[in-house]
Amino acid sequence: MATVELTDLVTQYPNGVRGVDGVDLAIADGEFFALLGPSGCGKTTLLRTLAGLEGATEGRVRIGERDVTALEPGERDVAMVFQDYALFPHMTVSENIAYPLRIQKVARGEREERARESADPLSLGALLERRPAQLSGGQQQRVALARAIACHPQVFLFDEPLSNLDARLRLEARTFLKQLQRRLGVTTVFVTHDQAEALAMSDRMAVMEAGRIRQVGTPREVFQRPASLFVANFIGATPMNLLEGAVRGGRIDLGGVSVPLPAGHSGLGDGERVVWGVRPEYVATAGDGVPADEVVEGEVSAVENLGVTVLVTVAVGGRDGEEGVEVRAVLPEDDEPEVGARLRLHPQTARVLLYRADDDGALVEP
């Protein structure tokens, strides 16, 4: 197995656009690492540069002890699984799995043995003589995985391999893929635009925007402490509450509603513009024991059923001619309110984050 190290990496296209713009990244041996971001952010370009399918304009790529920046893809000892699986329709499952070994001129007997060894753990043993058209989408995905495993690579590179599966099979596949990677212990770089996949599967993750990495951390770190407004907006199944306001008298005025200043931020001066942020999951209904100055109250304007929970939108403030704001909360299904009802909410002050309104949304550290 191997570590992966990218240093000042740039991949620039002939038109001058930088798909990867000065990336520094270190991935540990055996780590499941996710590259996450919206379409066009550079995550697939970064993966292809790591694989050698795109040439690095500047910087270095190291895999294990080797500098592979100038090496061809076949010399890098990596195996890539693509979004469309890239199976040969005229070949059997066994032949598809063994094809990279055939290119490497591995003897036929060893190719067939390694194909069987790779297929059995993926429940493909009975399908080795079938062709891709005779397989389901999930089975085709497993053939692509078996082909990667058969190469015994130092690094797995996955380019959105689950995106062609239906929702149910996708959930099953991500659990299976995580378990498989744990069993094999192979360093894995996984590209996805689905933040739920990245949060569920990765040991660590990088959030990308415009060719640059905006934050690296564990899923819990990125979810609980997004380092910028971009990350805060992108991460989370429900939209994060992000409201602009000003510091006044040791509190934050959000426009018709005042909320406490989080602990450690007493150094912020009056009039300083900030963005107050808290996830709906950290907003609850206010019980009798909650201090009145930590409660926001308003009228329920929308209720969205999420299954065992509900996403509630509450319009607060807006009195005496001031424009109000909306605060969202994720509540248990048994606490579902009616639209139009008055509701008292308690944002957990310890979970509140502040961002600089005039500094590209950088997190204000306490």
pLDDT in tens, the chain (366 residues): 799 999 999 999 999 999 999 999 999 999 999 999 999 999 999 999 999 999 999 999 999 999 999 999 989 999 998 888 889 999 999 999 999 888 888 899 998 898 888 888 788 888 999 999 999 888 888 898 888 888 889 999 999 888 877 888 788 888 888 988 998 899 999 999 999 999 999 999 999 999 999 999 999 999 999 999 999 999 988 989 999 999 998 899 997 789 999 988 888 989 999 999 999 999 999 988 898 899 999 999 999 999 999 999 999 986 655 668 999 999 999 999 999 999 999 999 999 999 999 888 899 988
The reported pLDDT for the residue numbered 82 is 85
R_g (Cα) of the chain, nearest Å: 25
Tokens of 48: 């292809």
Contact 23, 9 (CB under 8 A): yes
Q: List the one residue out of 223, 164, 184 whose CA is nearest residue 34.
A: 223
DSSP helix/strand/coil, 359? coil
Q: Candidates 3.40.50.2300, 3.20.20.80, 3.30.420.300, 3.40.50.300; correct CATH number of 4-234?
A: 3.40.50.300
DSSP helix/strand/coil, 37? coil
Tokens of 257: 């509603």
Angle between helices 93-103 and 108-119 (to 10 degrees): 130
Helix (H) or strand (E) holding 35: strand 32-36
Contact 256, 314 (CB under 8 A): no
What single DSSP character describes residue 363?
B
The reported pLDDT for the residue numbered 358 is 86
Helix (H) or strand (E) holding 81: strand 78-81
Tokens of 101: 């070994």
Domain range summary for the chain, segments of one domain joined by +:
4-234, 241-356
> Measured between alpha carbons, how far is 317 from 310 in angstroms, rounded to an integer?
22
Q: Which amino acid is at 357?
A: A
The reported pLDDT for the residue numbered 230 is 95
The reported pLDDT for the residue numbered 35 is 97
Q: In which residue are the tokens 């990088």 written?
A: 206
CATH class of 241-356: mainly beta
Contact 341, 299 (CB under 8 A): yes
